[in-house]
Structure 1
């Protein structure tokens, strides 16, 4: 293994970890807060996720000698925002995280469940994801309405840098966010003291509880979104770059690490999609057999970033919440555009996808169950009705 190491893979690994962490940690913090996590619990969840995906990437990449990138479920974190606080609070959400991880393990080991997830119409899965992301994507505009001097620099940094290289658009927005906090926000007198004390990692154990609303509102949609928008595309990216991994064990391993991070507030880890292309591509190393070192190095840096999660969360808390929501929203614009386009491409499924999207985006819950679940059910019924009437005709 040491003979396969290269400086090129070292720099690519650092870039993978920086892009993976910086581009979406705001979404994770916002999502965990959305289901009732305190600031300390959200910091613990961010730390647990980052360490879990780092260790998972190191183990899988070293064991298979393949560039396997691991990420937290960014669409899943966005889903948590729309789910809101369920009966039982954050403890119930943690119980749902555990069940989601278990379902991912089962999907990896038991092929019928994996096939069942794959059989969910792509149009409906994408429509549900687009509906979940819609409200978050409004946040940049709301930030400008809140204070143009705060919101505009973040949006302009994202737009200008993104026009040159989309990969660095969200890190640029994050950098602008840091500058806005540093020079535009009145800092509390003890801000530096709080930041220095937050450098010490403080994991928070959360005792899981299990409630039916949490299972239906969080566990099932989180499982579907994670599998459909992260794990399955992650395998596809690997294959496009000439690798042919066995999906089942990879899914099961990410599910296991999801379960390990859940009691400390983490929602789910999975195969990466965007950063997977970075690790598996030629920029990682000219020799495909040596690219796995880039994802091992990325895993090491994920662990380091995870240990700094408390300081990151403390710094973010110094700014108005709408600003970090703006960064989170910008991080999801591309995902929203892609899922919306995929949802409405096929004419035969367009109406069913529209129903799924509208019910999900409405944010309305029935019987304590979030709109994401009802959106998928409504779209599925509409699709079944359309197919039945076509057969009769």
Structure 2
């Protein structure tokens, strides 16, 4: 069953505290994020910290009695700064100190991208969908704080990494994507095209563009336009977005599409197919009856988050209720396991905890959670 805010809030806070310490009492302005978000390189992992920042932004919006009015917003921005200082630089070693990634500099710290934060140099690199999620984090931070500089960093990051994930086609057009590059964005590590990468890029770049055009004093006109057209061209070539049964992929598909639900035909069509798959998984395939030992909590929390985001935009009230029940069932089946979990030894604990918090309360993930969204130009894909 859904938890009321007074009951939900302690669960959300506990999940964040397992990674970031006693967040309700620490002095935000001097806080240094502990190295517990995963990975082995100074304890930072880009995906986990991205969700962590969004959860802090949610807390900034919903916490009824924060220590100070900007307490959780300050925690969010200090975590962002720590991630940039760690994953925006090379790995430290006994022979050299960290330096900016190739293409970056003190005045353009994100032009070289951000490392994943994997424990060894051989497994580290840059993921396209991690980078677009971080752009979304920076965009939401600008939306919450009213400070355009965070969104400007998202623009910088997008411009810096975008061409490195595209392989050229005829007449110099970028026709195919890859989803993993090396740390320096010079060598392809995984040559396949991620299922959601073009869609993620297309949607997030448009959100960043919308804020920049609305808040950039005219300077943001046309920003990221070429990059957005690159994504659109690939999406048109692919045709209808594929829906898969993987719970995290399904949840992120719904989350991505919900930003334009009721506004653009492609989003309505994609959400409709995604929701049908949700009904099939829960009612026909009885997914939650499967042995929990063979499932991954963080992937299911991703599904719950995406389902809740769609439910909040759903015009059909009965279907909205059904969707919220499905999301509640995911959270309910895992809640007993989450209550006693702390930092632990499991390498998945950090990502599981932050995604548990986002499954409880998507907040910053949701369209309109912080108020009306900037109007962006309409597109037709199919």
Q: TM-score, normalized by length of structure 2?
A: 0.24
Larger RCO (CA under 8 A, 6+ residues apart): 1
Counting helix residues as a fraction of each chain, which structure ranks higher? Answer: 1
Q: TM-score, normalized by length of structure 1?
A: 0.24
